Structure 1
C-alpha cells in the first residue's frame, strides 16, 4: 500500500474492513491501484486468501 495507515503493506495483508471502507465510499483510488484493491477485496470476501499465500515473497 503506497499511502495511509497501512503504507508499506502488501494489499493482500490489508484488513478486509479497510478495503470495505473504500468500497462503501465507492472511492477506490483511480487506476491500477484501485483495480488491485477491488480484486483484493473480492479475494478476501470469497475466502480465497489461502490461494494467494503461496505466491507471497518472503
Structure 2
C-alpha cells in the first residue's frame, strides 16, 4: 500500500515537471495551470523545509 502511494506521488511529480517544461515552451493553457501549481507547491515545500531546518539547528549549541 505504501509503495503504491509513493509510486503515485512520483508519477504526479514527474508529470508536474513535464508540464513545467512544456508550458515554458509554449504549451496549451492547461499546462500553464499545472506548471503554476507545481512551482507553487515546490516553493511551499522548500519554505517548509527551511523553517524546519532553522528550528532544528537553533538548539544545537555549536559543539563542533
TM-score between the two structures when normalised by the length of structure 2:
0.35
Kindly indicate whether structure 1 or structure 2 has the higher relative contact order, using CA contacts under 8 Å at least 6 residues apart.
1
Larger radius of gyration: 2
